[in-house]
Amino acid sequence: MKPILLSLLVVLLGFSPLHSEAADVKSVVTPGKKIKVEEFDSLRTKPNFQVLDVRTADEFKSGHVAGATNLNVHDPEFAKKLAALDKSKTYLVHCARGKRSAMATEQMLKAGLTNVLDFTGGFEAWIKAGKPVEK
């Protein structure tokens, strides 16, 4: 195929209505990428995305992002619990400010979970932005 036709085909396929959700995920997810409030908020309700709150159970009970799963990064069973996570999902990881989410993200990547995004502002940035909190 001639280079110009191949280029045209790539452009057309890239904007095709058959463009998949999986392709959208791959364009957003660079393993361990750090994201901020607005990107976190826009991704958290997408299919196959899961919010993972790595704060303590008490912190989680005092308020959390709706739909979040709590998995304390300091839990001695954290690595074991990571192994049970669905590797096909994309995880939006957060803590209070960013230190624990960075630590959790690193452990998740080492455990073979590649669809992991680190919400660096954490729950404090979420509250400061006036986003909804569930208790």
Q: Are 111 and 69 spatial neighbours (Cβ–Cβ below 8 Å)? A: no
DSSP sequence for 77-107: THHHHHHTS-TTSEEEEE-SSSHHHHHHHHH
**CA proximity to 116, closest of 81, 88, 80, 92:** 92
Active-site pick, 82, 95, 102, 104? 95
Told to judge if 80 belongs to the known catalytic residues of this protein, a careful annotator would answer no
CB-hemisphere CA count at 13 Å for 5? 2
Structure tokens at 61: 């009970």
Q: Are 98 and 121 spatial neighbours (Cβ–Cβ below 8 Å)? A: yes
Q: Measured between alpha carbons, how far is 62 from 112 in angstroms, rounded to an integer?
A: 31
Catalytic residues: 95
